[in-house]
Amino acid sequence: MNMKRSVWMIGAVVAVGAFGISLGAEPPASFYDLEVNLLDGAPADLSQYQGKVSLVVNVASKCGFTPQYEGLEALHDEMKGEGLAVLGFPSNDFGGQEPGSPIEIAEFCRLTYGVSFPMFEKVVTKQGSEQSSIYTFLGESGDLPAWNFSKYVVDKEGQVVAFFPSKVTPEDPALRDAIATALDQ
């Protein structure tokens, strides 16, 4: 058993004791096993993306990397027909750069960058008791965001196959190659 899985299981045992959750809870086997809420609060089941490649990005409206929204939207428009899903997860973890309400975030993204790809509720990406299940799962890959606009390529089966830090733009050939490789699998 790898160290990250052991830590997950220890966390599950602590949660069992603290919240009376039934024993035997296993960590999700796939990103697509997770359930979250959309930015408007409506439930969203990530299983709808199974069979697609997902680009998961922790986003923020007041960050120096915020102009990447334009490239993410272009990537979404260009490749959604090929099986790519760009998924945005707002986070206020780094520099308090996503302080807005869900309505403010949605309005900013739509009006400023024409964002039409799915945006989900604000999450905590950093390790700890408040960390979103999304980033607990993604962190199993060995990488967690060090800043806003970090990117994970998740394959059709829901496994992380590549991670790119904030400075890697949506236009970067290495990111596009990782997406193309995952789409070809």
Distance CA 61, CA 175 (A): 22
Best CA proximity match to 160, nearest among 169, 146, 150, 171? 150
- Buried residues in 69-92 as b, exposed as e (16+ CB within 10 A): bbbbbebbeebeeeebbbbbbbbb
Query: How many contiguous H segments (helices) and E segments (strands) does the chain have?
Result: 5, 6
Catalytic residue selected from 53, 63, 86, 87: 63
119 — phi, psi (to 5°)? -120, 135
Known catalytic membership, residue 109: no
| Sheet with 84-90, side-by-side order of all strands | 84-90, 53-59, 151-154, 160-164
Best CA proximity match to 150, nearest among 169, 172, 124, 133? 169
DSSP state of 22: P
Active site residues: 63
